Amino acid sequence: MSEHAEPRPTPTPVLAAGQRTAIRHFSHDDAGEFTTAAERSTALHHPWLFPPLTAEAYTAYAGTLIEDPARAGFLVCERPSGRIAGFINVNNIVAGAFRCGALGYGAFAHAAGRGLMGEGLGLVVRHAFGPMGLHRLEANIQPRNTASIGLVRAAGFRLEGFSPDFLFIDGAWRDHERWALTSEMLPA
């Protein structure tokens, strides 16, 4: 999709909208736009995350977000164009007394540093604590990933601890800081 592309219809319904962004679920029809944006964002993402870069990889990735009840994927889209700015996934959703999910997210290069992901994260948090019925969201972040830490800190997450050798990323076990937000921490 070019920088000056015409607005296109949104393939899946908008779940929530802010001033500059809206969130919606992934669809299989987003493969081309998503993978093109991911490919153009490789330098931004490395060494923190590795979103799918091919249509086949996207199909598998989106399929788990669409079909697995323990995961919910959200695309953060610019308004009014609908262009995908990034993604925020709620993974490892546990119901019952825990009612928790773990966040995974990434901005695309054309949207980085513009505040779009901050607004999108606020929309996802409200959706998770509202319609999804969650009580707690967690984000595990490598300590040198200052942009990611800034995103969750600005959203009101609190630092809860440090986990050495927590996740296997980019060929090695990586330390992570544990950040969390509960529904009681949100402003009224």
pLDDT score at 8: 52
Reading the block at residue 30, the tokens are 């987003």
What is the C-alpha to C-alpha distance for residues 75 and 16, in angstroms, rounded to an integer? 11
Domains of the chain: 14-185 (3.40.630.30)
Computed from CA positions of residues 82, 86, 87, 88, in that sequence, does the dihedral angle turn out positive or negative?
negative
Q: What is the pLDDT of residues 16-63, one digit of tens each?
A: 999 999 999 999 999 999 999 999 999 888 888 889 999 999 999 999
Top pLDDT among 149 and 11 is at 149
Collect contacts of 97-101 with beta carbons under 8 A, ≥24 apart: 98/135, 98/136, 99/133, 99/134, 99/135, 99/136, 100/134, 100/135, 100/136, 100/137, 100/138, 101/72, 101/128, 101/132, 101/134, 101/136, 101/137, 101/138
Residue whose C-alpha is closest to residue 157's, from 129, 177, 176, 179? 179
- Residues 114, 39: Cα–Cα separation, whole Å: 19
